[in-house]
């Protein structure tokens, strides 16, 4: 009985704190986004973006993350999407960490 209660507690903590389930590369990607992007974007699985023109990263979905050149664009430099957005450039390991984190937090559209 204690074993079941302990496993239940671990599962509950994992659901409450999704970052617990992130691997080390995803955690590195999250840290990069936290330091560079969180002033404007919601970088986690919940919450609104502080800047009205900055979409939450969890909504990027297939359109941005799964095309082959997204990680490459992160490496060559993202151009500004709106006037307040600075330009960023990541090295290959950073770009891969960012993409892997972003994939981990995506919210799938509800089907009707």
Q: Does the predicted model carry a pTM greater than 0.75? A: no
Residue ranges per domain, the chain? Answer: 22-105
User: What tokens were used for 35?
Assistant: 């330091």
Q: Please state, in angstroms and rounded to a whole number, the distance separating the CA atoms of residues 49 and 92.
A: 26
| 42-56: pLDDT as tens digits | 999 999 999 998 999
At 56-112, the pLDDT tens digits run 999 987 666 666 678 888 898 876 666 778 888 999 999 999 999 999 999 875 544
How many other C-beta atoms lie within 10 A of the C-beta of residue 103? 14
For residue 28, what are its two tokens?
């590195």
At 45, list the tokens.
């699985």
CATH class as words, domain 22-105: mainly alpha
């Amino acid at each position: 009985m204690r074993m079941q209660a302990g496993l239940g507690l671990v599962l509950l903590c994992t659901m409450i704190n999704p970052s617990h389930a992130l691997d080390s590369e995803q955690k590195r990607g999250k840290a990069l986004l936290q330091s560079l992007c969180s002033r404007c974007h919601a970088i986690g699985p919940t919450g609104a973006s502080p800047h009205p023109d900055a979409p939450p990263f969890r909504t990027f979905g297939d359109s941005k993350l799964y095309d082959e050149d997204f990680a490459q664009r992160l490496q060559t430099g993202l151009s500004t999407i709106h006037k307040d957005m600075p330009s960023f450039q990541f090295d290959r390991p950073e770009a891969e960490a960012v993409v892997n984190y972003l994939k981990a937090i995506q919210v799938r559209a509800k089907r009707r």
